[in-house]
Amino acid sequence: MDLLRRLGQFLDQPGFPWKTLIIGFGITQYVFEGFLSLRQYKILQQTKPPKALEGEIKQETFDKSQAYGRAKSQFGFVASLYNQVQNFGTIYCDILPQLWDLTGIWLYRYSPKGFTGEIAHTLIFFFTYNLITTIINLPISYYSTFVLEEKYGFNKSTVKLWATDLLKGQVLGVALGAPLLSAFLAIIQRTGDIFFYYLFLFGIVVQLFAITIYPIAILPLFNKLSPLEEGQLKTGVEALAKRLNFPLKELCVIDGSKRSAHSNAYFYGLPWKKHIVIYDTLIEKSETEEVVAVLSHELGHWSLSHTTKLFGIAQFHMFYVFALFSVFIKNRSLYQSFGFHKEFPIIIGFILFSEALAPMDTVVKLLMNILSRKFEFEADEFAVKLGYSTELARSLIKLQIQNLSTMDADWMYASYHFSHPILPERLGALGWSGKEKKADLKAKDGEKSSVVTGREL
């Protein structure tokens, strides 16, 4: 505690140029990530597949994959610049203090009796800011879904469904965010300088609550879950779970095809009661043994305690973030640099602290991706030991073809951005000898799938 207090005093220097420093952080990160993207774009201009994929991927498929990768990269350049301009404008033009003052006026004039104080003001400010941000980002979201993904055959959504999802997200944000944000602020207000201990415990409770309530109350708002029908697949998955002593409670299929051609398989739940969810698109486009192989990889993460380790790391990260926040929460020079001279709202302090923490978050992201790629290799090896080497390799190749995924990657770009090894690396680790030549592997032209939620394949 004494160390944190002294650090807080050291950093709270009148006139310290926090705004310049944070803008500098943002621009530096933008330039660095742009540099990495340019390196990757050169890879996407190659005309021949990596040697490890020669004989596995047809030239036509490779060309389509490269075109799709370039299209995503070009869109990424525009979206990144769009976001950078937003962030710069918000900081440079003092949007935060202006919006705080405006929402304060709304609170004074229109709020019901008793709805006053910092917590009430923060709720109005936060949800107004979130709504504005959502509206500003609508063009990016629309283009990504209905232009880019539509062009390459991914999108299965409609404008109505897309708009409905956005509306549901906003309503859920208010319904769940209001009590959580209120509790966050109340804990800080009432527990003094040691608030970060209580926030840490509160965070753990929230995570456990989310694990329990998400599949019951939130997921059904967006997708339909149905029990997996009796048959060879269900028998195979249940046998795999029994073999590994995996506490399988329920085996479900989700209607992922409602929105996208992407597919996935994942598990969730408490340690003693797990649920496995398989996307209908994965079942449709894969052989039974390939789906079981995918799940052998996923359950490898559970058996090797990867999910437990990542959960533990996440808790440590949450604790150190809250502890460091205690250093900045009373930093008047930080507030004043951004136009807050009379009021020092907790939520503003947390937003500005998050901006100041950006360089450290970049390092954390790099280290976590390195660890994640290590875990992916270990989960693949686990599936090999279970006897699914060939099936997993076939599934990976098929998904790569259906998905038009990037076949190769610049090493710097992959190290920073990728949580999974690229296909040639995984096939090499699996000992794949290319027995399945010209592996379109029954994939239909124009169809594709990829892993988009949970722990990816």
Residue 54 φ/ψ, nearest 5 degrees: -65, 130
Catalytic machinery residues: 298, 380
CA Rg value for the chain: 24
Closest CA to 193 of 433, 420, 3, 337: 3
**CB-neighbour burial class of residue 334 (10 A; exposed 0-12, middle 13-18, buried 19+):** buried
The enclosing H or E element of 270 equals: strand 265-270
Closest CA to 455 of 322, 299, 272: 299
The enclosing H or E element of 310 equals: helix 306-328
C-alpha separations of 93 from 20, 86, 96, 357, 427 in Å: 13, 10, 9, 21, 51
C-alpha separations of 97 from 10, 105, 110, 126, 322 in Å: 25, 12, 20, 12, 23
Q: What is the separation of C-alpha 102 from the centre of its chain, rounded to a whole number of angstroms? A: 32
The strand pairing partners of 250, in sequence order, are 275
Work out the number of other CB atoms within 10 angstroms of the CB of residue 148.
16
Q: Which residues contact 240 (CB under 8 A, 6 or more apart)?
A: 246, 292, 295, 296, 299, 386
